[in-house]
Amino acid sequence: MLHSFAQLPVFYLGLFGSLLAGLATGVGALPILFLSKVTQKFQGALMGFGAGVMLAATSFSLVIPGIEAATEQTGSEVVAASIVTVGMILGGLFLCLSHRYSPHEHFIKGPEGANPASLKRIWLFIIAITIHNFPEGLAVGVGFGGETLANGITLATGIGLQNMPEGFVVALALVGEKYSKWTALLVALMTGLVEPVGGAIGAGVVSVAKPILPWAMAFAAGTMLFVISDEIIPESHRLGYEKGATFGVILGFVSMMFLDVTLG
């Protein structure tokens, strides 16, 4: 079955892999139907775990393969490092501008972006998570455009693993805002379904032109780093439970590192 899967075009691999990763958001939100309260400390640890997974995925599945691909194409480690550096900066700037000009609302930081008062609060939450999830799908799609199928599978597995606690925290926050449990579950699922869009774009770009691969990997890595630092870690440090969140980051990082080594 895996052999047949590997024969699919890169576009479909990226689309399917990012779809499964996105659906994990809804799967992670399922416990909201049976639970209504979870300690803030545990929520912070869950968010920290997700940040650690994304950080390791960025390092081992995007930055390192991107440098290797650029080195192979150019024959120069200096040029390769320069390509990845510029690509990561561009990815971070892209997410920064998306945050600045898209109206959205964080659970902790509150409204942000252009004219947030013009939309209902639930749509501001949805836009915020959509901005957050798009680069994850992009990373999975780009990952499947590399030389080995294992890199894409590792990224999809890691992002899916990160999405599960995130989906639960999102659903929990919506229930806290007086939305019904089923609405919270549906919203969590919807926010994950933007990932196949990013996956299709990432896989489509690298399948059309292989020389773009290191640039695309670096760009995806930059967007992921922006999300980790600007979104997830600050959210995980709320209400003063930084230590639990920090140990969550460590556990998430080593879990993803183990997956990358064993699968890749």
Tens digits of residue pLDDT in 146-178: 666 777 788 788 888 878 877 887 787 777 767
Query: Is the Cβ–Cβ distance between 214 and 62 less than 8 Å?
Result: no
1 pLDDT more than 60: no
More confident residue, 158 or 70: 70
| Cβ-Cβ contacts under 8 Å for 184 (sequence gap 6 or more) | 29, 32, 170, 171, 172, 174, 175
The pLDDT of residue 250 is 93
Q: Return the amino acid letter for 112.
A: E
Under DSSP, is residue 84 helix (H, G, I), strand (E, B) or coil? Answer: helix
Q: What is the mean pLDDT of residues 7-28?
A: 82
- According to the per-residue pLDDT averaged within each range, which of 71-85, 115-129, 157-171, 215-229 is highest? 71-85
The pLDDT of residue 8 is 66
The pLDDT confidence band at residue 118, using thresholds 50, 70 and 90, is very low
104 pLDDT more than 50: no
74 pLDDT more than 70: yes
User: Angle between the 213-227 and 195-208 helix axes, to the nearest 10 degrees?
Assistant: 160
Residue at token pair 């080995």: 148
First to last CA, the chain: 18
The pLDDT of residue 212 is 82
Query: Is the Cβ–Cβ distance between 199 and 138 less than 8 Å?
Result: yes
Q: What is the mean pLDDT of residues 67-74?
A: 90
Query: Is the Cβ–Cβ distance between 70 and 84 less than 8 Å?
Result: yes
If you count them, how many residues does the chain have?
264
The pLDDT confidence band at residue 247, using thresholds 50, 70 and 90, is very high
The pLDDT of residue 77 is 92
